[in-house]
Chains A and B, each alone.
Chain A
Amino acid sequence: MTRLTVAFSALLLIVSVTPVLAAPCQQCHEVTVSGVHQGIACQECHGAQGNLGNPGIADNRGLGCVECHADTGMIFSHAMSRRTAEQEFCQRSWGRADTTFYATNCQQCHVASCADCHGSGHAMTTPDTHRCQTCHQGYFVGWDFSGRAPREDSVRYQRGPRSHDQYYLKMRPDVHAEAGLDCSDCHTMASFLDGKVSAKSCRDCHDVNPDIIEHGIAAHLENMECVSCHASWAAQEYATYYVETINSSNRAYFRVKPTGNERYVKSSYLKRQDLPPLGVNEEGRVAPIRPQFQAYYSKVVDNQPQGEENQRLASEWKVFTPHTIRRGTALCDQCHGNARRFILEPLEQRIYRPDRDGLGIDSLWRAEGQRVVNGSFMPPARFERMSQKTPEYSRGYVKKWQDFLKKDAASSKP
């Protein structure tokens, strides 16, 4: 053993005193570096001592990478690594019922190494859309860019095409995806480093064409985000349930897709994939919102419910940006006068009755008892104002329909 240690130390000594020598590494490690790092010696990334087995990991704040890529180390303080918002949400919702909830159910998706995004092994690349969707899939914005919506959790709906180990419901993709754009065309590393969500916003690339009727309406441009009209659909999950099961064979009755751990069953009350509801963002502009999350929790031990069943732990909505942009939009009535779209559904117009199922809310599309974490619901007075049928509105409305139907004499005959 002593002899072995001596030999090993000697070897280390040789390695540490030898300057850049690529060939010896490759005598043992069958590694081919491709891409822009092709001509670089191993030690450049793996450390002069060869002590950085994994040069890009968060534990050393990407030491092997940041030497050249100065400042990129801050990615480990970025939202994608720290997920502060997600942790805070868990803390104030499911975490109240189970302090280990976040660790059990939410650990999978976070940036822990430069390599998570920039390629596998020694083929370092700029991440493509598919790579981003490794995390940004399911209910998270990103999958929708490629026309994928999450399916209902029940196994009855687990069918059809798959991506990222999940079945998806086929929807119309984003027009930018159709044109061949990748996530990174708008979401650059530089923008992340600046702490921004994106390098480009709609109007950096697109001029507003005032000849389009809707664009000619000043209030639309002043009061709304582009995406409020141009998001063609959005994944919406109403009431997300986590059921903690301990030593309970009841678990088998929930015929839903697996959560990846033995303890929890996850399901939801309703999923919709249509036009997103609208609220108001922090800038006061109308923007898409969705439930994220209406959190419910139950615990079953030895097949017996523990404490309150279907405990409502949060009823939160979020202003968000569906990545389902189309040139086309919904027609005027989908917003004007459409109270349900603005979470102002009159009680007598309810179809779903969550109150009868113990959800603790009267309607899935009523603001009462719920909140928007990064904005607000549409104030009723503002909704009333925008739903007024002023003469200008009526003129624009008629013109819109005439344009759409290209008024022709034949159709006007009864």
Chain B
Amino acid sequence: MIRVLIAIFFLLPFLLVGCGSQSTTSQCEYCHAGLELASDTHQNCIDCHGGDETLTDKKAAHASMYGPRNPSAPKFWEKTCGKCHQYQLDRVRSNLMLTNTGFIKNIRLTWEGGEEYLYATQDQKLYDAQGNPVEHHSVLKLRNLAGELYRKYCSLCHVGMESHRSWKASHASGCAACHFPFNENGTYQGNDLAMKNKWPHSASHQMEPLPTNEVCFRCHNRSGRIALSYQGMNDGNNGLVPVNNGFPGPELISGARNVTHIQGDIHFDKGMDCIDCHTSRDVMGDGYAYENMYQQTEVACEDCHGSGDEGPRYEVVERENHDAVRESRNYQRQVKTGDKLVLTSKGRPYSNVFYQDGKIVVVGKRDGQEHISKQIAATPEHTIVGHERMECYACHSAAVPQCFGCHTQYDQSQKGMDFVRGRETRGKFSETEDYRSLYPFSLALDQRGKIAPMTPGCQTFVTVLDRRGNVQKEEYVANFRGKQQLRFAPFYSHNTALKAVSCRECHADPAFLGFGQHVVAGQSVESTLICEKSDELPLDGFMVMKQGEVQSFSAVVREHSRPLNEHEVRRALMVNQCLVCHDDPKDAIYQQALDYDQIDRCLQRVTPDR
């Protein structure tokens, strides 16, 4: 063993040559004078780009290039980035952001898109977290509406595919999607005059090992809109005002949408980036194939803040080749042996969250800023009986973007761009919507069986026109779990607030239980925003109460999830009888199960004027 290590040690300089050999005079540098080095360790052009650096004829020199623009595109990445970064490449291959397995699976649920196989962006054989082989079929084989929708709408936000026609939402494909960021309109702005202002290119040729929030924003600005909410932005419920320099404003983003401002996430306001919470395994995968992003994601609030009954866990770095040491190489603060690293919900160490002096310290990966994480274990407001079933963000979300009524039309009399095939094919999608809201939001059980915020996911009404433009399906609601119903989905909005939704705000407003906006008459809750398909059912909720009978009519997607049942709804509402006087969450009466008979005794007691 020792002999092997010694051999590797001596071979090291030679092994690294492939990635970092210094070339003296290359034709590349002559034409691209001023071009930034990708990094100190990526000095040689042809190692990444291929091509022939000895030829002066542009065409001939470029002929054998990988690209020519982007050597990290999946087409080439085994010969380029993956040549040196095999471990990262293997992880990315299983990554949901590349396979889009979860994405496609959820679209199929919404569009009755068959349940026979798992589909992904390409045919692939991977392994799940239990080590079982998983076969993915190419989405090209998904010959139904779900496949069409993915290929013509959703596939643009796929790290395997370049997107270069969206304002503030364009990105390269492959590794460069995150590590060579585009600017708003995807033009090169570096010092190579041969490339200056050319499009589509990353803004600079300097590699970005640690992606900024803007990088995440390029894709995560639609649907859940987490990159927007996190940074205190909101799109929708707006008609492109206020004006900004004669154009619609205040800020335009892809798809002729504009963003206005809302309260940002507390973590953002404190200066934390997306990557400060999300580990590289969250965003690049951990080598295993998952079917939904919540399975791949390993960060949880409790990791840093503790839960009601338990503080964060940590482990001591004992080896120099610990993953976190390697990962933190480009951080402001590197991990070293002896550091105590806090563990994620999956029990793996963060590379930037330390246990030190009895405190949990999150260190900004890019800026080195230290953030002390508040601990909640054993505080009375976090040990309320019944609340152990709640996700932290059920109370600590300032706003939850909710998009009600998604009306999608598929018109086969027109052609639409199939981004996966790279050409136009028959059938064009278009979309309109009904109403958006940020607050209040509804709660139901999520995949962990905990009470979590919900957002429509989805309320899709599908209209299909045939080749002659005749309506085949009109405002069709797809089957889900055996019946035609709309769907809500558990959702962490990424708009976390220090101040929680107050007890009375939540308990005394049935909208939080899923009734939508409403009035109360006798023992009935009457919705006021109504689904077009019904005269009774809310569009912004999934519950109705008629003469005291509670009924839910929409589904909550994901395993173990469901709306609250009648018993739970009544229990949540009954607390109001206590809350009217005991409105402090720290009140000791909430440390035990409530005795409602006590209220009658309270009422009969003569209360002195306050």
Partners in one complex: yes
Which residues of A line the B interface, CB within 8 A? 147, 152-161, 169-172, 232-233, 239, 241, 243, 248, 250, 253-256, 267-271, 273-275, 296, 298, 300, 303-305, 309-310, 324, 326-334, 337, 348-354, 356-359, 388-391, 393-395, 397-398, 401-407, 410-412, 414
The closest CB in chain B to the CB of A359 belongs to: B242
Inter-chain contacts of B597 with A (CB < 8 A): 412
User: Do A353 and B263 touch across chains, with their CB atoms under 8 A apart?
Assistant: yes
Known contacts A170-B532, A309-B245; is-contact A253 B577 (Cβ 8 Å) = no
Which residues of B line the A interface, CB within 8 A? 232, 234, 236-248, 250, 256, 260-263, 385-386, 398-399, 407, 431-435, 438-439, 499, 504-505, 508-510, 517-524, 526-532, 539, 548, 567, 570-571, 573-574, 576-577, 580-581, 583, 593-597, 599, 603, 607, 609-610
User: Do B520 and A267 touch across chains, with their CB atoms under 8 A apart?
Assistant: no
Q: Give me 29 A-to-B residue pairs in the complex whose CB atoms sit less than 8 angstroms apart, sorted by A's number.
A: A156-B236, A157-B432, A158-B432, A159-B434, A160-B407, A161-B532, A171-B528, A172-B527, A172-B528, A232-B526, A243-B241, A267-B238, A267-B239, A267-B240, A270-B237, A328-B522, A329-B519, A330-B520, A333-B505, A337-B504, A351-B399, A352-B438, A353-B261, A357-B250, A357-B261, A391-B609, A394-B581, A402-B577, A407-B574
User: Do A350 and B263 touch across chains, with their CB atoms under 8 A apart?
Assistant: yes
Question: How many angstroms from the CA of A257 to the CA of B574 in the assembled complex?
Answer: 46
The closest CB in chain A to the CB of B386 belongs to: A414
User: Do B580 and A389 touch across chains, with their CB atoms under 8 A apart?
Assistant: yes
User: Do B528 and A401 touch across chains, with their CB atoms under 8 A apart?
Assistant: no
Question: How many angstroms from the CA of A337 to the CA of B505 in the assembled complex?
Answer: 10
Known contacts A305-B243, A309-B243, A351-B398; is-contact A328 B435 (Cβ 8 Å) = no
Question: How many angstroms from the CA of A146 to the CA of B4 in the assembled complex?
Answer: 83
User: Do B519 and A157 touch across chains, with their CB atoms under 8 A apart?
Assistant: no
User: Do B262 and A273 touch across chains, with their CB atoms under 8 A apart?
Assistant: no
Option from A267, A337, A398 in Cβ contact (under 8 Å) with B577 = A398
Inter-chain contacts of A388 with B (CB < 8 A): 610
Inter-chain contacts of A303 with B (CB < 8 A): 246
Question: How many angstroms from the CA of A270 to the CA of B241 in the assembled complex?
Answer: 9
Q: What's the least CB distance linking B526 to chain A, in Å?
A: 5
Option from A233, A256, A309, A404 in Cβ contact (under 8 Å) with B240 = A256
Inter-chain contacts of B435 with A (CB < 8 A): 157, 169, 273
Known contacts A357-B250, A390-B610; is-contact A160 B239 (Cβ 8 Å) = no
Q: What's the least CB distance linking A102 to chain B, in Å?
A: 21
User: Do B246 and A154 touch across chains, with their CB atoms under 8 A apart?
Assistant: no
User: Do B529 and A171 touch across chains, with their CB atoms under 8 A apart?
Assistant: yes
Option from A157, A359, A389, A407 in Cβ contact (under 8 Å) with B610 = A389
Known contacts A326-B526, A412-B597; is-contact A300 B434 (Cβ 8 Å) = no
Inter-chain contacts of A353 with B (CB < 8 A): 232, 260-263
Inter-chain contacts of A389 with B (CB < 8 A): 580-581, 583, 610
Known contacts A152-B239, A157-B433, A357-B261; is-contact A250 B247 (Cβ 8 Å) = yes
Inter-chain contacts of A298 with B (CB < 8 A): 242-243
User: Do B242 and A310 touch across chains, with their CB atoms under 8 A apart?
Assistant: yes
Q: What's the least CB distance linking B601 to chain A, in Å?
A: 12
In this complex, the member of B431, B574, B599 whose beta carbon has the largest number of chain A beta carbons within 10 angstroms is: B574
Known contacts A300-B246, A398-B580; is-contact A233 B517 (Cβ 8 Å) = yes
Q: What's the least CB distance linking A392 to chain B, in Å?
A: 9
Q: For chain B, what secondary structure do more than half of its interface residues adopt (helix, strand, loop), or is it mixed? A: loop
Inter-chain contacts of B603 with A (CB < 8 A): 395, 398
The closest CB in chain B to the CB of A167 belongs to: B432
Inter-chain contacts of A351 with B (CB < 8 A): 262-263, 398-399, 438-439
Inter-chain contacts of B239 with A (CB < 8 A): 152-154, 241, 254, 256, 267-268
Question: How many angstroms from the CA of A300 to the CA of B531 in the assembled complex?
Answer: 39
Option from A349, A357, A411 in Cβ contact (under 8 Å) with B570 = A411
Question: How many angstroms from the CA of A239 to the CA of B243 in the assembled complex?
Answer: 12
Option from B581, B593, B596 in Cβ contact (under 8 Å) with A407 = B596
Inter-chain contacts of B243 with A (CB < 8 A): 241, 243, 298, 300, 305, 309-310
Option from B439, B521, B610 in Cβ contact (under 8 Å) with A326 = B521
Option from A243, A269, A404 in Cβ contact (under 8 Å) with B573 = A404
Q: What's the least CB distance linking A197 to chain B, in Å?
A: 24
6 closest cross-chain pairs (CB), A and B: A328-B521, A267-B239, A153-B239, A414-B593, A328-B519, A412-B596
Question: How many angstroms from the CA of A269 to the CA of B258 in the assembled complex?
Answer: 11
Inter-chain contacts of A393 with B (CB < 8 A): 580
User: Given contacts A157-B433, A239-B241, A337-B504, could you give 4 more A-B pairs where the C-beta distance is less than 8 Å?
Assistant: A169-B435, A309-B246, A354-B260, A405-B548
Question: How many angstroms from the CA of A359 to the CA of B595 in the assembled complex?
Answer: 50
Question: How many angstroms from the CA of A169 to the CA of B436 in the assembled complex?
Answer: 12
Known contacts A156-B433, A241-B243, A351-B439; is-contact A172 B530 (Cβ 8 Å) = yes
The closest CB in chain B to the CB of A310 belongs to: B242
Question: How many angstroms from the CA of A414 to the CA of B597 in the assembled complex?
Answer: 12
Question: How many angstroms from the CA of A200 to the CA of B434 in the assembled complex?
Answer: 35
Inter-chain contacts of B438 with A (CB < 8 A): 351-352
Option from A241, A390, A394 in Cβ contact (under 8 Å) with B241 = A241
Question: How many angstroms from the CA of A225 to the CA of B425 in the assembled complex?
Answer: 60
Inter-chain contacts of B398 with A (CB < 8 A): 351
Inter-chain contacts of A255 with B (CB < 8 A): 240, 256
Question: How many angstroms from the CA of A2 to the CA of B241 in the assembled complex?
Answer: 63
Question: How many angstroms from the CA of A248 to the CA of B594 in the assembled complex?
Answer: 66
The closest CB in chain A to the CB of B583 belongs to: A389
Question: How many angstroms from the CA of A350 to the CA of B567 in the assembled complex?
Answer: 33
Inter-chain contacts of A170 with B (CB < 8 A): 529-532, 539
User: Do A171 and B530 touch across chains, with their CB atoms under 8 A apart?
Assistant: yes
User: Do B519 and A269 touch across chains, with their CB atoms under 8 A apart?
Assistant: no
Q: What's the least CB distance linking A204 to chain B, in Å?
A: 22
Q: What's the least CB distance linking A291 to chain B, in Å?
A: 14
The closest CB in chain A to the CB of B595 belongs to: A412
Inter-chain contacts of B518 with A (CB < 8 A): 328
Inter-chain contacts of B522 with A (CB < 8 A): 328, 404
Q: What's the least CB distance linking B265 to chain A, in Å?
A: 12
Question: How many angstroms from the CA of A398 to the CA of B573 in the assembled complex?
Answer: 11
Question: How many angstroms from the CA of A390 to the CA of B242 in the assembled complex?
Answer: 45
Option from B431, B529, B530, B574 in Cβ contact (under 8 Å) with A411 = B574
Question: How many angstroms from the CA of A288 to the CA of B320 in the assembled complex?
Answer: 67
User: Do A412 and B517 touch across chains, with their CB atoms under 8 A apart?
Assistant: no
Option from A232, A390, A394 in Cβ contact (under 8 Å) with B528 = A232
Inter-chain contacts of B526 with A (CB < 8 A): 172, 232, 326, 328
Question: How many angstroms from the CA of A213 to the CA of B599 in the assembled complex?
Answer: 18
Question: How many angstroms from the CA of A348 to the CA of B269 in the assembled complex?
Answer: 13
Inter-chain contacts of A157 with B (CB < 8 A): 432-435
Question: How many angstroms from the CA of A241 to the CA of B242 in the assembled complex?
Answer: 7
Known contacts A404-B573, A414-B593; is-contact A233 B246 (Cβ 8 Å) = no
The closest CB in chain A to the CB of B516 belongs to: A274
Question: How many angstroms from the CA of A30 to the CA of B593 in the assembled complex?
Answer: 82
The closest CB in chain B to the CB of A245 belongs to: B246
Question: How many angstroms from the CA of A191 to the CA of B237 in the assembled complex?
Answer: 38
The closest CB in chain B to the CB of A298 belongs to: B243
Inter-chain contacts of A239 with B (CB < 8 A): 241-242
